[in-house]
Chain A
Amino acid sequence: MRVAKKPGLVSGGSLLPVLKNRVAFEVARGIKAFLNVELGLIRGETPGAESGLTDAKADTREKDTRVRQLGQIGRRLAGRARTVAEPAAGDGAQDNRVRPENMIWIFGSGRSGSTWLRSMMSDMERHRVWEEPMVGQLFGVFHKQAQEGQLRSANFIMGEPTRKGWTRSIRNFVLDGAHYANPRLGPDDYLVVKEPNGSTGAPLLMEALPESRMILLVRDPRDVAASVLDGARKGSWLYERKDKGRWKENALADTNPEAITRRRANMYMTQVGNARDAYEAHEGPKVLVRYEELRADTLETMKRIYSELGIPAGDKDLTRVVEKHSWENIPEENKGEGKFYRKATPGGWREDLTPKQAGIVEKITAPLLEEFYPA
């Protein structure tokens, strides 16, 4: 569609001498530079019909461009549809979508034993794992950082006036993501979502998936801080692995351990605090697990977890997975100070933290410490 009608001055009928010169040459693949010059004399009024021809030519050029653009877009979308359909080919993408009631979310905080718990659960029959999708981070942190004015606005993508709509969008987003990450998940399979580092978004996720199951896994915040401090020291596993937490750049565990302790305690408050809020509001099957209980009597705690979540689990199977993933079965060379598997000793913080560091954690996490670990 042409927007502005420009006077078409090129004429055919009643013309006096006209000079026309058109030059075009290719400057890059598929791109031409052009120069058109026309000059001359014309008698009488500007011919309407010829003016119409100029406009029609311009319109045609614009339509040609649109045809090319749409062709390109159509080809891209067709390619996308093929790629997207592939994982579900033959078994129907919609039928194969994860059943929300079969999702088991593990929330809490990092260094609380979530890797151990999900390892045991992943070896149960018909269980699969979605490993730290961070979808709770994606939505939770963004929502938490929003200004009050934004939250009140219907324009804001996560504004309160349209909460119902975007909650439904989050639900679809999560279910689609779960399907793509686990395309072979059967209709009766369970999907264990290990999401401790996405716990900031736990309330939003549980609101979006009210029928799913939830495990709130907590650990004494002082032991959590001690574990992080150990891992972040120069040469330790957190410090040495790819620098996602900027541990090397900051090197705080060695230069300013109090700062990293404070940061970690604040993170614990946000993550465990939000996970706790989600747990309280959640109406689907749920269970609260303390890491210390899991360490003290793993089999009984696992039985309790499955019982409270309403998932059938035989004693034999539970005994098998508990045995397989026991602390004793981790090779000695993979355990110890500075390693991912460190000491697994509740209360170890008394040896690991200085009184000042312990005080920092206790002050910041006081409400949760009091709730989950009353003196």
Chain B
Amino acid sequence: MPVYRQNILLEVARGIKAFLNFEAGLTRGPTPGEGGGIQSLEEAHKRLEDRNRQIAELEKKVRESRSDAPAGDLKPENVVWMFGTARVGSTWLGSMMDEPTGHTMWHEPLVGALFGGFYYGRGAHRGGKHGILGGPDEKRSRAIRAFILASAHEKFPEVSGDGYLVVKEPNGSNGAPLLAQALPESRMIFLVRDPRDVVSSNLSGKSEGGWTAEAYKRGRRQGTPPPSDPKAIVRKGAKKYLEFIGRSKEAYDAHEGPKVLVRYEELRADTLGTMKRIYSELGIPMDEDEVARAIKKHSWENIPEEKKGEGKFYRKATPGGWREDLTPDQIQMVEDITGPLLQEFYPEQQISRAGV
């Protein structure tokens, strides 16, 4: 639940300091400051020990309750999903999260696309008992869980014990609800970005000379190339955003494990602060120095100039750049298609109605 905290301390006279502590927010448990009735440090330590013991017992119980899938030593609760959609900064965030010791990134397995594309798409009519993903949720979740854990173990046998497996899955987010249901104890990052910037980035890559268009041209990608009509690219991009961010949100809202919502814009504005919040809300211990080094290593400034710019994978990383990139008609199209999500995640941003 959102919390705002501010601590201010200033010296007003020699040896005397004035302080102001301010906290406001929403909570499901005891309110901060109540401290659950804790009055002394000794009492707090006793309570902490008690909670640690409870957590260890509950974690054991959860492990025992999980399916009999050959999961190896990877703890399902140490799987960290990163959902959203393409062009929201998941490569950047994934690179930073791959750095700390004991953290491993699973780069775009597309397991969500495998199951989501079928369940919500071409196999949606096979919902009965005979359909492979039909029948009760429990049956489906158990099968998907076993499949994911076995695959993860096969690919990353080295991730065990306290290791974390960060699954960068923006392009598999159309199956996010199925994956989250299958691994209810896993952790989840829901990464969003202004849809107008997402579509703008998409348009740049798919236009003549752009990195996606070139990949098709040079045979690095097969199948139907993206449409050449900018209007069609924009419409398709906005619809994909609606589907993928919509499914991610559905999964995020329902997920009971640790989770965090991250806006790309916040990550750009205060990377260290946002990274600290991510690890804190996911309940993952972090070494601040290690994270600071990862941030520096993967900063925009450290990407070689020749790899950045219009039409390239690393384009401009400028929130609000859509105002320069999209035409009024294109803006209106994106806003019309993604309206409910835009309002929800960017309520402070007036819908422009193409009046820019």
- The residues of A with any CB-CB pair to B shorter than 8 Å are 1-4, 6-7, 9-10, 16, 22, 24, 27, 30-44, 46, 49, 52-53, 56-74, 76-81, 83-84, 130-135, 137-139, 141-142, 145, 147-150, 153-158, 162, 165-166, 168-169, 172-174, 176-177, 180-181, 242, 244
Known contacts A61-B32, A84-B138; A135 and B58 CB within 8 A of each other = no
Within the complex, the shortest CB–CB distance from B21 to chain A, in Å, comes to: 4
Known contacts A60-B35, A165-B151, A244-B125; A176 and B21 CB within 8 A of each other = no
Q: Check B146 against A176 for contact (C-beta < 8 Å).
A: yes
A63-B51, A66-B55 are known contacts; what are 6 more A-B pairs with Cβ within 8 Å? A30-B28, A61-B32, A62-B283, A70-B61, A162-B151, A181-B130
Q: Check B33 against A34 for contact (C-beta < 8 Å).
A: yes
Q: Check A73 against B19 for contact (C-beta < 8 Å).
A: no
Q: Check A81 against B65 for contact (C-beta < 8 Å).
A: yes
Q: Give Cα distance in the complex from A166 to B150, angstroms.
A: 8
Q: Give Cα distance in the complex from A38 to B19, angstroms.
A: 8
Contacts of A40 in B (CB 8 A): 18-19
Contacts of B317 in A (CB 8 A): none
Residue of A nearest to B287 (CB): A3
> In this assembly, does B293 line the interface, its C-beta being within 8 Å of a C-beta of chain A?
no
Residue of A nearest to B25 (CB): A34
**Residue in B109, B113, B147, B284 whose CB lies within 8 Å of A173:** B147
Closest 8 CB pairs of A and B: A165-B154, A63-B51, A56-B44, A77-B65, A70-B58, A244-B125, A57-B35, A34-B31
Q: Give Cα distance in the complex from A80 to B183, angstroms.
A: 12
> In this assembly, does B27 line the interface, its C-beta being within 8 Å of a C-beta of chain A?
yes
Within the complex, the shortest CB–CB distance from A28 to chain B, in Å, comes to: 9
Q: Check A74 against B62 for contact (C-beta < 8 Å).
A: yes
Known contacts A36-B31, A58-B32, A157-B114; A133 and B126 CB within 8 A of each other = yes
> In this assembly, does B315 line the interface, its C-beta being within 8 Å of a C-beta of chain A?
no
Name 21 interchain pairs, CB-CB below 8 A, sorted by A.
A3-B276, A33-B26, A37-B20, A38-B20, A40-B19, A41-B17, A41-B19, A42-B19, A53-B41, A57-B44, A61-B32, A70-B55, A77-B66, A77-B184, A78-B65, A80-B138, A138-B118, A173-B132, A173-B147, A180-B139, A242-B125
- The residues of B with any CB-CB pair to A shorter than 8 Å are 1, 5, 7, 9, 12, 15-36, 38, 40-41, 44-45, 47-48, 51-52, 54-55, 58-59, 61-62, 65-67, 106-111, 113-115, 117-118, 122-126, 129-133, 135-136, 138-139, 141-143, 146-147, 150-151, 154-155, 184-185, 220-223, 256-258, 276, 279-280, 283-286, 288
Known contacts A37-B21, A73-B62, A77-B62; A137 and B118 CB within 8 A of each other = yes
Contacts of A84 in B (CB 8 A): 67, 138-139, 142
Contacts of B52 in A (CB 8 A): 63
Residue of A nearest to B27 (CB): A32
Classify the interface of chain A: helix, strand, loop or mixed: helix
Contacts of B131 in A (CB 8 A): 132-134
Contacts of B117 in A (CB 8 A): 142
Within the complex, the shortest CB–CB distance from A221 to chain B, in Å, comes to: 22
Q: Check A10 against B18 for contact (C-beta < 8 Å).
A: no
Q: Give Cα distance in the complex from A65 to B26, angstroms.
A: 13
Within the complex, the shortest CB–CB distance from B153 to chain A, in Å, comes to: 8
Contacts of A36 in B (CB 8 A): 21-24, 31-33
Q: Check A3 against B285 for contact (C-beta < 8 Å).
A: yes
Q: Check B31 against A24 for contact (C-beta < 8 Å).
A: yes
Q: Check A22 against B33 for contact (C-beta < 8 Å).
A: yes
Q: Give Cα distance in the complex from A77 to B276, angstroms.
A: 30
